Amino acid sequence: MRRQFERLGIDGVAWTPGEPANFAPDLSLIDDEFLHLLQPVQRAFLARSPVIALLGTETPSRLKLVFELDPASFLVKPLRSAGIYAALVMAFERNERTNELKQQVLKLEQRLRSRRVVLAAVLQVMHSHALAEPAAFALIRRSAMEQRKTIEELSAEITAKGLLPRATG
């Protein structure tokens, strides 16, 4: 395995559970035989990078430990040079996609939380300008565009400071 990694230009660092981990891996290869020795903190440390699980036993308990790491790829022992490159490519690609999805989820959660503020601002504009809901939202959207702010930012200002956009028409 080391020879295959050297051919690919990858430097490896061996780490034994219990030793201090004073490095940040770009990739973790974890032998399933050692998973039961790892503390939750150590598992979390190794799982910060893409994980390739080295599977030797297919028992349900062993596979459960492997799945808890959320491996990006796996290799079956005994290891051979075939499959190593594919496992590496899959691990890095899956990690990148997972990170992108996490960022999208965070953005969507933020937008979902801000919907309450937008609704409060729409209601405030509806009452102050005697507008229907679609017209009040359109007014907020137009004002946000004119001020080069997001609808959420302008809505927060409306609800916090009472700065209402001017109705035109």
Q: Which residue has the higher pLDDT, 148 or 12?
A: 148
- Which residue do the tokens 């399933």 mark? 32
Q: What is the pLDDT of residues 69-111, one digit of tens each?
A: 889 999 999 888 888 899 999 999 999 999 999 999 999 998 8
pLDDT category at 121 given cuts 50, 70, 90 is very high
21, 42 Cβ separation under 8 angstroms: yes
117: nearest Cα among 160, 59, 57: 160
Higher pLDDT pick, 143 / 2: 143
Q: How many CA atoms lie within 13 A of 34 on its CB side?
A: 15
Complete domains list, the chain, with CATH:
2-82 (3.40.50.2300), 105-161 (1.10.10.10)
* CA separation for the pair 118, 116 (Å, rounded): 5
Gap between the Cα atoms of 143 and 122, Å rounded: 12
HSE at residue 49, side-chain half, CA atoms within 13 A, is 14
71 upstream amide cis, omega within 30 of 0: no
How high is the pLDDT of residue 124?
94
Quick: pLDDT tens for 39-69. 777 777 777 789 899 998 888 988 888 888 8
